[in-house]
């Protein structure tokens, strides 16, 4: 080896060593940075996804898997959850269901009467969110549907406000699962929130449904998080496990965006398990979504 080649090797080795040291230092610095706080929101599961389990079994086994809530149960079923130390992050029971909602004046009185009866009872049980739906369009324009929904909400928002309850209209896809449903985009839902102008009316942002309708999930959460009172999950396509082989939503990133928005409520796991033991994928989903 010549003196020149020896010096060249030495210089190369020094450069590599310096680069390695710099990289190591960078990694060490990144490693030393504190992790983002975990557990900023709690986890819930939607009752309808576990039809082969009794509500009592879902509560008991789900609690062992990390659940804090089982949702979309009726006011009458709340004592079953309370006996097990669980909340109901979103109470179910609206007359007319998904298709016959607030965008039809013919439904307003039945919805008002239902809320007048159920909201005080759920509030007494310590529960704070009640689901509502726009209903199907049936030929209504976006503007007409918005106006009629606002009229209906004006009848029930005072009841919710009096009892410290938030009415949550769910955003659903009208492309695959709920053809003709009116509240099927975030901008429409936000317009309705702005028109109603109350902290006691907000949106239930279903990540699965809005991936189908809009995509751009993280930007939407960042831009409109102030209007969102609750979140639902679900693998797309199919509304199955969040870690499925053909699942296209990267849930850790979406969950971090939710956490960074300042959200501290519940995240509702709303996917239909395909495995023999439905609690196993629920436990994995809770772990995947804990940021």
Write out the two tokens for 191.
């317009």
Question: Are residues 110 and 73 both part of a single domain?
Answer: yes
Which ranges in the chain belong to alpha helices (H)?
3-32, 55-65, 78-82, 108-124, 142-162, 186-196, 207-213, 217-224, 251-260, 279-288
In this prediction, residue 2 carries a pLDDT of 54
My answer on whether 58 and 153 are in the same domain is: yes
Assess whether 59 and 12 both reside in one domain: no
pLDDT number for residue 94? 86
Backbone φ and ψ for 70, nearest 5 degrees, come out as -120, 130
- Are the C-beta atoms of 62 and 111 separated by less than 8 Å? no
- The span from the CA of 131 to the CA of 153, in Å, is 12
Domain ranges, residue 29 = 1-33
Same-domain pairing of 120 and 230: yes
Give the total number of structural domains in the chain: 2
Res 1: pLDDT: 52
Residues 229, 108, single domain; the answer is yes
Tokens read off for 13: 């080795």
183 with 124, same domain: the answer is: yes
Do 11 and 49 belong together in one domain?
no
pLDDT number for residue 40: 77
Claim to verify: residue 89 and residue 208 sit in the same structural domain = yes
- Cβ pair 91, 122 in contact under 8 A: yes
Looking at the structure, do residues 13 and 154 belong to the same domain, yes or no? no
User: What letter does residue 91 receive in the DSSP assignment?
Assistant: B
pLDDT, averaged in runs of 10, over the chain (291 residues):
48 45 39 48 96 98 96 98 98 92 98 97 98 98 98 98 98 98 98 98 98 98 98 98 96 95 96 97 96 86
Contact 205, 226 (CB under 8 A): no
Q: What is the pTM of this model?
A: 0.87
Name the token pair of 183: 């509240």
CA distance 67 to 117: 28
| Secondary structure of residue 174 in the 3-state scheme | coil
The predicted structure's pLDDT at residue 291 = 86
């Amino acid at each position: 080896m010549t003196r020149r080649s020896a010096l060249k090797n030495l210089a190369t080795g020094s450069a590599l060593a310096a680069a390695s040291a710099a990289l190591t230092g960078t990694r060490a610095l990144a490693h030393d940075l504190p992790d983002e706080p975990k557990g900023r929101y709690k986890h819930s599961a939607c009752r309808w996804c576990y039809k082969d389990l009794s509500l009592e079994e879902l509560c008991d086994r789900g609690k062992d898997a990390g659940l804090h809530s089982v949702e979309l149960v009726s006011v009458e079923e709340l004592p079953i959850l309370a006996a097990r130390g669980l909340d109901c992050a979103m109470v179910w029971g609206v007359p007319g269901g998904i298709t016959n909602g607030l965008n039809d004046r013919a439904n307003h009185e039945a919805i008002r009467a239902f809320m007048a009866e159920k909201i005080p009872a759920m509030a007494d049980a310590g529960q704070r969110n009640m689901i509502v739906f726009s209903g199907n369009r049936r030929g209504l324009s976006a503007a007409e549907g918005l106006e009629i929904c606002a009229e209906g909400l004006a009848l029930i928002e005072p009841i919710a406000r009096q009892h410290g309850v938030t009415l949550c209209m769910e955003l659903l896809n009208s492309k695959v699962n709920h053809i003709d449903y009116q509240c099927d985009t975030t901008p429409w839902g936000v317009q309705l929130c702005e028109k109603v102008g109350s902290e006691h009316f907000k949106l239930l942002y279903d990540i699965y449904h809005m991936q189908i309708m809009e995509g751009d999930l993280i930007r939407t959460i960042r831009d409109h998080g102030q209007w969102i009172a609750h979140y639902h999950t679900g693998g797309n396509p199919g509304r199955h496990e969040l870690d499925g082989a053909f699942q296209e939503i990267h849930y850790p990133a979406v969950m971090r965006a939710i956490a960074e928005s300042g959200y501290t409520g519940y995240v509702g796991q709303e996917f239909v398990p395909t495995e023999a033991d439905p609690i196993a994928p629920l436990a994995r989903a809770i772990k995947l979504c804990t940021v």
